[in-house]
Amino acid sequence: MQHQATAETVVHEKQSFLRRYVFSTDHKTIGIQYYLTGGLMGVLGAFLAGLIRLQLTWPTTQWNFLAKIFPSGMEGGFMKPEFYISLVTMHGTIMIFFFVSLVLVSGFGNYLIPLQVGARDMAFPFLNMLSYWTIVPAILIAAASFFVEGGAAGSGWTAYPPLSAVPSAAPGSGLGQTLWLLAVALFIVSFTMGGLNYVTTVVNLRAKGMSMMRMPLTVWSLLIASIIGLLAFPALTAAAIMLLFDRHLGTSFYLPAGLFIAGKLLPNEGGSPLLWQHLFWFLGHPEVYVLILPALGITFDVLVPFARRPAFGYRMTVYCLMAIAFLSMVVWGHHMFVSGMNPLVGEFFSIGTLLITIPSTIIGVNMIASLWGGKLRLTSAALFAIGTISFFGMGGFGGLFLGNAAADIQLHDTAFVVGHFHFMIGGVTMLAIFSGSYYWFPKMFGRKLSELLGKLHFWMTIVPFYGIFATMHFYGLAGAPRRYYNLSQYAFLEGVRWMPMVITVFAFTMMAGQILFLVNLARSLWNGEKAESNPWESTTLEWSALSPPPHGNWGEKEPVVYRGAYEYGNPDAKEDFVPQTVPT
Amino acid sequence: MSSAREAPMNWSGGVAPLGMSWQKLMMWIFIVTDGLLFAGFLASYGFARTGARSWPNQQEVFHLWFISLMTFVLISSSATMATAVAAARVADWKKVGNMVLATVGGGVSFLAMQAYEWGGLIRDGVTLGSNPWNVPAFGNFFFLITGFHGTHVLIGAIVLATLATRVRAGKTTAAGVELAGLYWHFVDLVWVFVFTLFYLI
Amino acid sequence: MESHESQSYGALWKIWGVLLALTAIMVFVDAMGLPRILLLVVLISAMLTKAFFISSQFMDLKHEKLVVGVCVAFSLLFFGAILFALIVPDGVAVLHGGR
């Protein structure tokens, strides 16, 4: 450990291309690697979503060109049910672990934390590099799982046994499921390495004067998200190990007696699928907060400079983030209300879930109040950040119904749930990714993005998104179940037959809109207008570094911090903002 | 608006507010995550045990005097490790080297005894799939939990053996010895829980 | 790097003795055939006492800032306990209903 380049020693020797761009230990390079890798996986996840929409809208159409790409899954041009469920599984897995987590937590987190706390790099840069290079095999394994015998895993991203525990149960329960478990295990290792770095860097490596209550909310949210991730992931590790044992070593952790699968009575006895559900959701629920808390933090960091006034209720927001994080760790049972659990335990989970609404609402109100009376600059970044507030509120409404154990009995496993969580971990997080991208692109690459394309991108995202997922709430209220490959065969859905079509039209519109973002990125990276250090006139520390910052971030002298993160609209100030590095 | 109250000195950045280096902090956080992994296994074991119609009587299945001996060996290795850490702080490197080697010896002995115990049980018919008492969960959790603990002991022994050679070459610091010590004590700590919850209760 | 006064070797081996004594007591109590609840209370108390000695004396937590030990203990004990406590009702239900 003594010989590694740590945050205390800045390495200035000339490095080979491999060391500088591929196996870099610089947090900025690693952040960009994560961002681009995650972005690529987001495109793959969106492609899978497109396939899902095709099947749900036109289940009886023959798709000959798809049969060429997926000869076994789309044999004869018709989607097999097992292929559909593997699409649903991999869409969820890829989007949650390999898109949102990678871009938001690993990408922005790695890039921003050292810069925003005034450090030269993360506490343990070598470990940081390892964390990225652990994700790469995870992704390759997940992608490869599509092409093995039986296809990709087919038990949902939730991987419930017995379907996931018995390799002969279905095509997607074979090698594809094992590869899924390996990919997720590698993800957990990578996340843990990153989380260790984040927490130690924020606690130990802040610059002089950067007290905890002067940190930007992005850093607070990433710190808190890392902590709950570190505490919650081991349960899934334990669960996954036991699942691998059940699959390959003949144990019965999750398998009860009397299972008849593929015509054979299994010899297992003594296990229970409920154990997996508990362990999985013990991680699964905090996991979604690991995704959304950084989105909320980034939203504040973007809203405030474009409102030219201080964040409203900064301290309260910090406490609310902590409250949400703690509560999120004790409410996992709300995913299991229909499992036949003891009603008293169900009530405990229900009350806890509904309690989370309180700090969440406070945060939402603080966001709106942070705009109140401000001199709004409605740039693309600002528009996406305002959109985040809207999605957060809408998602929260659905959550109120689902958190109520009695109502959930009706709504569980319907499209209502799908609509709810897409608003949260698809909407809030995605908009935060975009607002963060438009905001920090000049810092990361030293160039500006086109505002016109950005605004078009915004409208082509937010309007269709509502069209897709608000409709889905009503589709679910009408009783449409999730994860079914062909809903056209049920008479009770006759009255809402038009909904999947509407959803699909909006979905393809939204996907087309994302091309604007990709074009914008490519054009600006190629020959975009150069950006100065602080194009948005922001106060936080990263804007006092060059665009992009050099290796070691700060040049000769590390920054000293004299004030809080959001001093905008200060009447005593020369300009309408005072950066954190300006002495009092 | 800057914070109305001045932040207390040790949280103002530029210092280690928790009073430890980032390396030690990172090791503690890692220990918590690894501990929660074992907590997951033990909670699952608790779930299976409360749901089991019957459970083999540990007094009859295990030679508890032998397991107690294993516990004695592991606790002693923890004491030698703590002595090594204390010796490193006063730069008594000869003592450090000897104590680390004694710890490795304790760890290896523990593993040998664990392997012997496994062998005995397997000969009695305990496998991952079945056992003479018809409670598959017993064998499942026994091999899983002691196996994972044993793997951690093995990794610790390898790390400590490497540390011993580096001590001999004069290439270690007191901080490095302390970090290795924290991991080893964690392994002992897990055994305290496993011994009580699986073998005694 | 932080500086701690070193534990004297004697103090460490005294703790070793205490841990061994506790272990011996636990094994004897286990063989005594006590009523279940009493057995659980005694064994778990002894287990937690051993854990406290190892973490505070061997792992030096008593010389670190209090908040570190509190966070470590809370994370492990609280979340371990709550995971156990909230899944046990389902375990018991399996026993009675055979799900």
For the stretch A408-436, pLDDT in tens is 999 999 999 999 999 999 999 999 999 99
Please give the pLDDT value at position C15.
Answer: 94
Question: Which pLDDT score is estimated for A13?
Answer: 60
List the beta bridge partners of residue B147: none
Q: What sign for the dihedral angle of Cα A8, A14, A16, A17? A: positive
pLDDT at B52 over 70: yes
**What's the pLDDT score for residue C98?**
53
Are C59 and C69 contained in the same domain? no
The answer to whether A499 and A475 are in contact (CB under 8 A) is: yes
Q: Are residues C13 and C54 in the same domain?
A: yes
Using the predicted structure, report yes or no on whether residue A547 has a pLDDT greater than 90: no
Residue B10: pLDDT band by 50, 70, 90 thresholds? low
- Tell me how far apart the alpha carbons of residues A1 and A200 are, in angstroms, rounded to a whole number: 15
Contact by Cβ (8 Å): A40, A136: no
Please name the CATH architecture into which domain B21-50+62-200 falls. Answer: Up-down Bundle (1.20)
Assess contact for B144 and B40: CB atoms under 8 A: no
Does residue C38 share a domain with residue C12?
Answer: yes
Q: What count of other Cβ atoms lies within 10 Å of the Cβ of residue B65?
A: 8
Identify which has the larger pLDDT, C93 or C28: C28
Identify which of B50, A339, A345 has the alpha carbon closest to the alpha carbon of residue C95.
B50
Kindly report the backbone phi and psi dihedral angles of residue A168, in degrees, each rounded to the nearest multiple of 5, phi listed first.
Answer: -90, 0
Hey, what domains does chain A have and what are their CATH numbers? 24-252+270-544 (1.20.210.10)
Task: Tell me which chain A residues have a C-beta less than 8 angstroms from the C-beta of C90.
Answer: 272, 274-275, 278, 339, 341-342, 345
Please give the ipTM for the structure prediction: 0.93
Q: Are C54 and C48 within 8 A, CB to CB?
A: no
Return the residue in B9, B78, B184, B192 with the most chain C beta carbons within 10 A, the one to mutate for interface testing. Answer: B192
- Please tell me whether residues C41 and C86 are part of one structural domain: no
The continuous run of DSSP H or E covering A260 comes out as: strand A260-261
> What is the pLDDT averaged over residues A572-581?
88
One domain for residues C51 and C24:
yes
* pLDDT classification of C5: cutoffs 50, 70, 90: low
**Could you say which residues from 15 to 34 on chain C have a Cβ atom under 8 Å away from some Cβ of chain B?**
15-16, 19-20, 23-24, 26-27, 30-31
The verdict on a CB contact (< 8 Å) between C1 and B82 is no
Query: What is the domain count for chain C?
Result: 2
Q: Which residues of A touch C86 (CB under 8 A)?
A: 278, 330, 333, 345, 348-349
Angle (deg, nearest 10), helices A175-204 and A81-93: 10
* Owning domain of residue C93: 65-99
CB contact under 8 A, B128 and A250: yes
Residues of B in contact with C76 (CB under 8 A): 32, 35-36, 39
pLDDT at C6: 58
Q: Is-contact A426 A469, C-beta < 8 A?
A: yes
C38 and C69 in one domain?
Answer: no
Give the model's confidence band at A12: pLDDT under 50 very low, under 70 low, under 90 confident, else very high: low
Asked if C34 and C5 sit in the same domain, the reply is yes
Answer whether residue A8 shows pLDDT above 50. no
Of A241, A268, A567, the CB nearest to B1: A567
Helix axes B136-168, B174-194, angle to 10 degrees: 160
Cβ pair B86:C95 closer than 8 A: no
Report how far residue A221's alpha carbon sits from residue A326's, in angstroms, rounded to the nearest whole number. 13
Going by pLDDT thresholds of 50, 70 and 90, the confidence category of residue B190 is very high
Tokens of C18: 């205490």
Chain A residues in contact with B44 (beta carbon < 8 A): 238-239, 242, 253, 275, 279
Shared-domain flag, residues C4 and C21: yes
- Distances from the Cα of A125 to the Cα of A26, A30, A122, A129, angstroms: 7, 9, 6, 6
Question: Is residue A524 predicted with pLDDT exceeding 90?
Answer: yes
Instruction: Return mean pLDDT, chain C.
Output: 88
Residues shown for chain B? 201
Residue B64 CB partners (closer than 8 Å, separation 6+): B58, B199, B200, C27, C30, C31
Q: Among the listed ranges A365-374, A520-529, A556-565, B5-14, which one has the minimum average pLDDT value?
A: B5-14
What is the rounded CA–CA span in Å between residue A93 and residue A25? 28
Q: For residues A555 and A92, which has the higher predicted lDDT (pLDDT)?
A: A92
Task: Give me the amino acid identity at B48.
Answer: A
pLDDT band at B6 (very low <50, low <70, confident <90, very high): very low
pTM: 0.94
pLDDT tens digits for B57-114? 988 899 999 999 999 999 999 999 999 999 999 999 999 999 999 999 999 999 999 9
pLDDT of residue B198: 94
Nearest CA in chain B to A278: B44
Q: Is the peptide bond before A571 cis (omega within 30 degrees of 0)?
A: no
Is the model's pLDDT at A3 over the cut of 50?
A: no
**Both C51 and C79 in a single domain?**
no
| Domain parsing of chain B, residue ranges | 21-50+62-200
Put simply, whether A46 touches C (Cβ < 8 Å) is no
- pLDDT 10s digits, A101-160: 999 999 999 999 999 999 999 999 999 999 999 999 999 999 999 999 999 999 999 999
